[in-house]
Structure 1
Amino acid sequence: MKISKTVLLLSILAFGAPKAFAAPGEKYPQTRTRVLSASEVANLSPAQRRYAINEIYARHGLLFGDLALRKQFLQFSWYAPQPGRSMAQIKGRFSPVERKNVERLGLARAISNATVKSDESDEERTDFYLSPYAGSSRAWKGERFPETRLSRISSVDIGMMTAAQRRTAANEIYARHGYLFNSMALRKQFLQFSWYKPRPGRSMTRIASSFSAVERANLAALNAAN
């Protein structure tokens, strides 16, 4: 197998000389062969940690909701998207080594997010977390975080979100059940979508009582992170 010099160089810069050959286009083959050390993870930039995590999901066929990510991995023959498989099902296929590496890489990203200067805007950091369902067949039109109704979001994933993303995810849960937002900007934002059907006169408490168990758990986790 011919290895790209650029790919090999990136891998060596990140982790030292690789012990396993990389598949064409694979930047971080070590994430499937051994558990990365804390110092190796710390030496990676946020963008490199993001890519390493996405590459693990790509190996197992996650159909990324983000079209740019999907296009990026579709260049490589080893990426075989599996529509219909949830993120939880994809995670279930990880090896113990991959699971540990996702945990370590994700924790480092969460810590990095938490230590960003307070004057840095959320808009500059919206790429820390990418929904695995947004833009997929399982997402409603305009829905940014369909996973909040489809599966429980892990604490690591929530840690990757910006404060703005957590707010949007929480508001989206209420919007699904018809909460009439006091904020005209929020109301206008959701009125673009056919699935948002405001129910005037229903209190926030009454709306919350119609949440599914998954939505309740996700809302609690999102609020706890703020």
Structure 2
Amino acid sequence: MLLSLAQSIQERDIVTYDHSRRVAVYAQRLARYLGWSRREARDLALAALVHDLGKTWIGNDILNKSAALSREERLKMERHPITGARILIGYEVHPFYVEAVLYHHESWNGQGYPARLKGEEIPFSARILTVADVYDVLTSQRPYKDPLTTDEARERLLAGSGTNFDPVILQAFVHLLDITPDFTLTQHVCGISLKNLRQPGFYNMFIAGSSS
């Protein structure tokens, strides 16, 4: 079901799908580095593939806008975690995935959205996903900005330690950056057919191949 929903993202907005694919890889790597089992890390990667599912209900005039969003547009954008979580609930997927999607924009200091959760109130899965998500946004080309280098993104993340991000998780991610050559994935339109992901054993090959 999650892979079918990821395919719907791919069909609606290939840029959002490509972003989600990279975030899935980063989140899986970080989860494994933090001691999660392969299965747990795989589940988080699946959640990451659909973390922006709610954006499929936002118009291109907002998604692709190069200028700053208006207050009304920003409020619409900030509803995408709720929309995505509601879609997942409608398909009766496990609460683990719902929580990761719903809370991936919460901030450690309680100033995130949609629920303004603070610190350890935020599910651990969402805290990992937040770091992976922001790192990819920082290092990717967007209509409104140029990509940052790995070093620039590293410094930007560190500046948000204890405010935007769980400091322990962030420190682990930064260390992973420092010890992993060519950590940052190339931004491109992914040509992998998601139906192949349903074949036995293909999921691990998909994640491993994304690191090249």
Q: Do the structures match in fold with TM over 0.5?
A: no
TM-score, with structure 2 as normaliser: 0.28
Structure possessing the higher relative contact order (Cα contacts under 8 Å, 6 or more residues apart)? 2
Structure number with larger C-alpha Rg: 1
Greater per-residue helix proportion? 2
TM-score, with structure 1 as normaliser: 0.27
